[in-house]
Amino acid sequence: SHLFQLLQSDKRYVQEQALSTIATIADAAQAAFSKYYDTLMPLLVNVLQNQSEKEYRLLRGKAMECATLIALAVGRERLGQDAMTLVNLLANIQTSITDADDPQ
């Protein structure tokens, strides 16, 4: 899809906006969003695991929002083993926040 292509952009702003759009679609589509899960969740986990530099904080915040809305949309059964991975990543990010203006 075009949104998936936008996620591959080298422009961080475009990636951030694509994540916001995907999150909104997942929230509206609910269970119907399941068919995109296997493509998108690994990308989101990758962003949360590997983009720790300060300039990526907003992107990580958008990835957190998107991943949690996708998780809510597809449900516990579809989320499966990714649930613990996601919870651990989010907990690690929360404990690493030091700046009051951090959007994560």
**Residue 62 and residue 17: Cα distance in Å, rounded?**
8
Q: For residue 62, what pLDDT is reported?
A: 94
Amino acid at 61: G
CA angle 39, 48, 20 (to 5 degrees): 65
- Segment 7-63, tens digit of pLDDT: 989 999 999 999 999 999 999 999 999 999 999 999 999 999 987 788 888 999 999
* Residues near 28 by beta carbon (within 8 Å), at least 6 away in sequence: none
Residue whose tokens read 């990636």: 15
Residue ranges covered by each domain of the chain: 2-96
CA diameter of the chain: 38
- Segment 66-86, tens digit of pLDDT: 999 999 999 999 999 899 999
Q: Cα 92 to the chain's mean position, in Å?
A: 15
